[in-house]
Amino acid sequence: MIYMAISVQDAATGGRTSPFWQSGFTENLAPPSAVSLDVPPLPLCFVTDDAAEAWAAVLGSHKRVKDLADKLRKVKIRSTWVSRKQMKIQEDAHVLTAYFSEPDLLNQLAKQLPLQQLHQFHPMSIVTSFIENLIGQEKSELQLSVLNSGNPSAVEAAICKRFPASRYAFSFGWSDSLYSPLMVLPDVLELIESEEGERFYQACFAAYACMSELIETHVPLAQLNASEKVGNALNGVLAHKLSIEKQRRAEGGLPLTSASSLRGALGAQTRRLDVDWSDPTDLLRVMARLHAMWGDGKAGFTIAVEEVANAYLLPKLKDLFGRLEKAESASFQGDRQDLELLSLVDEFKLQEHKGPLVEAHVAVLSPLWSKFDFATYFKDLETQVAIIEERSREIVQRRASILSLSQKTHLDVQAISSEALLVSAGTHDIERLITEAARKLSGPSELLSSVMAGWTHLISGFHLDNKQPGGDEDTQVLELALQEVSALSAELKKLKRDTHHVRVKAAHLAVDEGRANDGIAQIPTAIIRKLINDPEQLTPTEILTCFSTLAQGRLRVLPSAWRSAKESERFEYSARMLELLDKLVFDYCDALRSGRPDSEARNILGSAYSAKESQSVSLVPSMRSERMFQVDGESLYFEKHLGIGNCTGSARGMRIYFEIIDGVVVIGYCGKHLTVASTN
C-alpha cells in the first residue's frame, strides 16, 4: 500500500503517485521556516497512560516501539521537551511521544541519517504500514485508483464529495501532495468515533499524520471535531493549528493560514510576497492577476477577500474604535459625543455564487486593494488614537486634581480655577480630535459595506439573467426577504452599539464612584512604611496587596495565589520579588499590549522568566494538577512562571505562576518551588 506516502510527480512513474522514499525525499523536506514550526502535537492517547499501548498498536509491537526509541536516543536531537540526558531514562513510549512532538524532528534527522532511513520516522510512512487493514482493502484500492487516474479534476471532485472542507485547499491551487491525506482523513475520523483499542489508536495517529500535512492549508481543522469523542482525541492537534494562526497574527504575520503554501504557488509572479508584509491586501492584488486563483470553479479569491476583511481590517478597526470610545467616555464622563452615530460593519460576508467567477467579480472587489494603502492608514490612525488617549488621561488627571483640591481644609480657589480652565480647553481640543478620527475611521467600514452591496447587486443580476421561466414570483419573494434581512440587520447593529455604550458608561460610573467613596482597598500604612524604609521586610502577601491596589485593571490575584503566598511568609528575597512583579505587571504587560511578541517581551523579565514547563512535568498528571488553578469556574493549566532562587524551601525559593488573560496578568500561585521530576 503506497498511496498514504507523500506524493510527488516523477518521470519514471509516468505521473503516478509514488512513495517519497522512492522518488526523492529531499523534495518534501521543506526548510524550517515553512514546516518546522507547524507539526502539531500528538493525539491525547499518546500523551496519557495509554501511550505504551497506543505506540505498540501503531508500530505493530512493543519490540518495534523499543527499537525506534533506541534509534532516537542515539541521534543528537535538540528537544524542547526533555533533555537528552533525561531521555535515556524515560520509558520507550515517552521517548517517542517527546520526539514526535518536536516540531523540527525530520529536519534534524535529515542532517544525520541517510535518506533511505528517514522514512521510518515520517508519520505518513508509519501510517502506510497499517492503513489498508484499518480502512479495508476494497476502499483503499478504490481510493488508489482515483489518485492514480491522472485527472486532477476527478481527484478533487472525489475528495470534495467525501470531505467538503477540502474545497478550501483546492481553491488556492495546491499540488497533489495533499491529495492522499485529504482522501483518507474522513475515513479515519469516522473510525475514531466508532472504534476502540488498537484500531482507535491507529485511527488517531493516522488523523494526526494527515493533519500534519494539512497544517499549512486553509482546511478549517477546528471544525473537524464533529463529536465529543473525536474532539477529545484530537484537541491537541486542533488547538495547535489555532495557536499557530493566533501566534502569526499576534506577530503581525499573514492572516491566511495558507500563507507559506500560497507564496510557493505564486513563485515569481508579479511581485514577491515577504513574510514581514504589513498589508495583506497585497495578497488580493497579486491574486487578481492570477486567473488560476479565481477561475471557474475556484472560490479561493472570494474566500481570501472575506478573510482579509474579517481577520485583518475589521479587528483593527474595531480595536481602534473601542479605544476611541473609552477615551471619549473618560473625557466626557460617560456621555457620547462624535462616536454616537458611527457604526462599523460587524462582518464582511459575500453572498455565495455558484456561477463562474469572471473579471467583473474582481472589478467589484478591487476597491479593497486599490482605494486604501492600509499599512499607512492604520499607522496614521494609530498615532491619532494614541494622542487622543494621552489627552484623555490628562483630562482625567486634572479632574482628579480638582476633586483633591476641593477637599482640602483651605481651598485654593486660584489653583482650582486654573485646573478647570485647562479641563475646558482639553475637552474642546479632544472633541475636535475625536471628530477627525471618527471621520477617518468610518472610511474603510463604508468601503466594506459598499463592496458587499456591489457584490450582491452583481450576483443578483447574474441570477436574473439565468432565471427560469415563471420565476418572477419567487424573485419578488426573495427580494422582499432580502430587504427584511437588511432592515433587521441594521436594527440589530444599533441595538448592539447601544448595549455596548451602556456597558461602557456603567463601567465608567463604577470607577468614578469607587474613586469618590474610597471603595477600592487602600494600602495599609504599615505596608507603605515597610515599602519606604525596608522593602526586604515585606512578606509575599504584603507585596501582592501592594500590587493589587496599584495595578488595578492590570493584575488579578487568585485565591490560590493568596493561600500559597501566606505559606511563604518567611521568604527572604522580597526586593527581588517587588522588582520582578513591577516588570511583569507594567513593562512586560505593556509590551504585549503594544503588539510585541512574547519572544521579545520576555527579555524584560530576563532569566527569571520561563514560558512553559518541561514535558517531564506537563505529562505527569500529579505535577500537572499542581499547576491547575480555578479561573471563573474553569480549571486552567498555568505554566508561565517567574523563578527566584533555586531552593525548594519557602524561605529562599519562590515560583510565581501566571497567565495573561484578556490583557490582565492573572497570578495563580505564589509560593515555594512546585514539584518537578528532579524532586520526585
Locate 381 and state its grid cell.
490612525
Are residues 49 and 189 located together in one domain of the fold?
Answer: yes
- Domain finish residue from 467, 499, 515: 467
Are residues 215 and 285 located together in one domain of the fold?
Answer: no
Residues 144-166: what's their mean pLDDT?
77
The DSSP string of 65-132 is: HHHHHHHHHHS----SSS-HHHHTTS-HHHHHHHHHT-TTHHHHHHTTS-HHHHGGG-HHHHHHTTHH
Are residues 103 and 169 located together in one domain of the fold?
Answer: yes
The pLDDT tens digits for 434-444 are 888 888 888 88
Residue 81 near residue 115, CB atoms below 8 Å: no
Q: How confident is the model at residue 369 (pLDDT cuts 50, 70, 90)?
A: confident
Which has more confidence, 596 or 259?
596
pLDDT higher than 50, residue 267: no
pLDDT for 52 equals 92
Are residues 541 and 629 located together in one domain of the fold?
Answer: yes
Q: How confident is the model at residue 83 (pLDDT cuts 50, 70, 90)?
A: low
Per the structure, the complete domain to which residue 80 belongs is given by 11-240
Q: Which of 45, 148, 145, 138 is nearest to 100 (CA)?
A: 45
The pLDDT tens digits for 269-290 are 333 334 444 566 665 655 555 4
Are residues 231 and 291 located together in one domain of the fold?
Answer: no
Q: How confident is the model at residue 648 (pLDDT cuts 50, 70, 90)?
A: confident
A 10 A CB-CB count for 623 gives: 19
pLDDT higher than 90, residue 188: no
- CA-to-CA distance for 139 and 377, rounded, in angstroms? 54
The pLDDT tens digits for 303-340 are 667 777 877 788 888 888 888 888 888 877 665 555 66
- CA-to-CA distance for 623 and 616, rounded, in angstroms? 9
pLDDT for 217 equals 55
Residue with cell string 494622542: 387
Are residues 25 and 137 located together in one domain of the fold?
Answer: yes
The pLDDT tens digits for 379-412 are 889 999 999 999 888 888 887 887 777 666 565 6
Are residues 295 and 191 located together in one domain of the fold?
Answer: no
DSSP 8-state code for residue 358: -
Residue 502 located in a structural domain: no
Residue 567 located in a structural domain: yes
Residue 240 near residue 41, CB atoms below 8 Å: yes
Residue 516 located in a structural domain: no
- Domain finish residue from 240, 265, 297: 240
Residue 261 near residue 175, CB atoms below 8 Å: no
Which has more confidence, 568 or 7?
568
Residues with Cβ within 8 Å of residue 664, at least 6 apart in sequence:
553, 554, 555, 556
A 10 A CB-CB count for 357 gives: 19
pLDDT for 588 equals 92
The DSSP string of 7-19 is: PB--GGGTT--B-
Residues with Cβ within 8 Å of residue 449, at least 6 apart in sequence:
345
- Residue count (the chain): 680
Q: Which of 358, 306, 362 is nearest to 462 (CA)?
A: 358
pLDDT higher than 80, residue 529: no
Distance of CA 123 to the CA centre of its chain: 25
Residue 394 near residue 426, CB atoms below 8 Å: yes
Coil/strand/helix, residue 204: helix
pLDDT for 219 equals 47
- CA-to-CA distance for 669 and 641, rounded, in angstroms? 9
pLDDT for 641 equals 94
> Per the structure, how many domains does the chain have?
3
Residues 260-265: what's their mean pLDDT?
41
Residue 510 located in a structural domain: no
Task: Provide, rounded to the nearest whole percent, the portion of the chain with pLDDT above 70.
Answer: 63
pLDDT for 10 equals 29
Which has more confidence, 436 or 678?
436
Residue 249 located in a structural domain: no
- CA-to-CA distance for 16 and 24, rounded, in angstroms? 14
Residue 252 located in a structural domain: no
- Domain finish residue from 438, 467, 496: 467
Helices 413-465 & 314-331 angle (0-180, nearest 10): 150
Are residues 232 and 288 located together in one domain of the fold?
Answer: no
The pLDDT tens digits for 651-672 are 888 999 999 988 889 999 999 9
Which has more confidence, 474 or 444?
444
- CA-to-CA distance for 553 and 662, rounded, in angstroms? 11
Q: What are phi and psi of 669, to 5 degrees?
A: -150, 140
Q: Which of 654, 641, 679 is nearest to 570 (CA)?
A: 654
- CA-to-CA distance for 28 and 111, rounded, in angstroms? 14
Whether this prediction's pTM lies above 0.85 is answered by: no
Residue 270 located in a structural domain: no
pLDDT higher than 90, residue 554: no
Residue 124 near residue 4, CB atoms below 8 Å: yes
Q: How confident is the model at residue 581 (pLDDT cuts 50, 70, 90)?
A: very high
Pairing of strands 640-644, 634-637: unpaired
Are residues 285 and 235 located together in one domain of the fold?
Answer: no
Residue 266 located in a structural domain: no
Residues 83-92: what's their mean pLDDT?
73
Are residues 416 and 557 located together in one domain of the fold?
Answer: no
Q: How confident is the model at residue 519 (pLDDT cuts 50, 70, 90)?
A: very low
Are residues 36 and 178 located together in one domain of the fold?
Answer: yes
Are residues 174 and 95 located together in one domain of the fold?
Answer: yes
